[in-house]
Amino acid sequence: MASDPITTERMEAAMEFLADSDDVYAQEKMELERAEICRKRVRARIFQISEGTVAERQASAETSPDTIAEDERYIACVKAFETVRAKRQRAELLIEVWRSINASQRRA
């Protein structure tokens, strides 16, 4: 697809994709923010209920299965968000290249 010519149809499809993916982008961003908040809450909760020195309590919070699970969830959210963001950026780039090509053709 990268070597396909940049046609009006591809540009229109890119514009449609951008319009159609607004909600998906916002949803993925929201899930990413939620996952970050949950990561912090789990660490704080485990730190709070743990016993020992500060270093021991931090170690408990970092190695807890709950923390590890929240970290994995966060990583999955990052991947989902970055995937949508990259697709949108690619669509935006295609539109800009199409504009540039068309401007050059009009000048010629």
How does pLDDT run across 71-107, given as a tens digit for each residue?
A: 999 999 999 999 999 999 999 999 999 999 988 888 8
**In whole angstroms, how far apart are CA 20 and each of 13, 15, 98?**
10, 9, 20
Could you tell me if residue 35 is inside a domain?
Answer: yes
pLDDT band at 2 (very low <50, low <70, confident <90, very high): low
pLDDT of residue 39: 97
Could you tell me if residue 78 is inside a domain?
Answer: yes
> What are the percentages of helix, strand and coil residues in the chain, rounded to 5?
85, 0, 15
What percent of the chain stands above pLDDT 90?
88
Number of domains in the chain: 1
**In whole angstroms, how far apart are CA 47 and each of 31, 55, 57?**
24, 10, 5
Residue range(s) defining the domain that contains residue 80: 20-107
Could you tell me if residue 90 is inside a domain?
Answer: yes
pTM over 0.95: no
